Amino acid sequence: MAKQKVTELITELLENFLDGKDLILYNVEFVKEGKDWFLRVYLDKTEDEDGKERYISTDDCELVSRWLSNELDEKDPIEQNYYLEVSSPGLDRVLIKEKDYERFKGKPVEIRLYKAIDGKKNLKGILQGLNDGMVSVALTQEDIMQIPFESIAKTKLEVII
């Protein structure tokens, strides 16, 4: 089965299963590393009523891993052998979808560009959002940079200790 089809199938299976469980499917990857294939499922939680972030537990990962493993054993849609990994995207998660840029507005981010803009290829700042294909990031109080979404190689949350 093609990588795209595998991720689409897993997304479809999990969105139905996760409905009503306060869990969100953050991302699905089906990748080959060396000679091995990995099916990676990243889970997240919805914010609580007060807007506070909640975090994935090992129990959450175990619940989804066991259910998905049983479903995949029963349906057997993936031809090659693979390792199933279910985890949180982590505190320094990569922002992948447009909705991630909205959800994490106001958070510190690290952005890596494909090509330098104004002599900078790596940026740190506060995410202002994504509008009309442009990512806004406040590098300082006065300096807000507009970056074309397609120019971004990777955006991840910055972990500040």
Same domain as 80, residue 30: yes
119 found inside a domain: yes
pLDDT tens by residue, 74-133: 988 898 999 999 999 998 999 999 899 999 999 999 999 999 988 889 999 999 999 999
In a domain, 93, yes or no: no
Q: Are residues 7 and 76 in the same domain?
A: yes
**Distance of alpha carbon 37 from alpha carbon 118, whole angstroms:** 39
**Is the per-residue pLDDT at 47 higher than 90?**
no
Q: What is the pLDDT of residues 53-65, one digit of tens each?
A: 788 999 999 999 9
| CATH code for the domain of 116 | 2.30.30.180
Q: What is the mean pLDDT of the chain?
A: 91
Label residue 2 by pLDDT band (50, 70, 90).
Answer: low
Q: Which of residues 39, 60, 87 is at a domain's end?
A: 87
Residue 25 pLDDT class (50, 70, 90 cuts): very high
> Which domain-ending residue is among 35, 65, 87?
87
pLDDT at 29: 94
Q: What is the 3-state secondary structure (H, E, C) of the chain?
A: CCHHHHHHHHHHHHHHHHCCCCEEEEEEEEEEECCEEEEEEEEEECCCCCCCCCCCCHHHHHHHHHHHHHHHHHHCCCCCCCEEEEECCCCCCECCCHHHHHHCCCCEEEEEEEEEECCEEEEEEEEEEEECCEEEEECCCCCEEEEEHHHEEEEEECCCC
pTM for the full model?
0.85
Q: Is residue 79 part of a domain?
A: yes
How many domains does the chain fold into? 2
Residue 102 lies in a domain: yes
Where in the sequence is the domain holding 120, given as residue range(s)?
98-157
| Burial tier of 134 (Cβ tally within 10 Å: 0-12, 13-18, 19+) | middle
Residues 106 and 63 in one domain: no
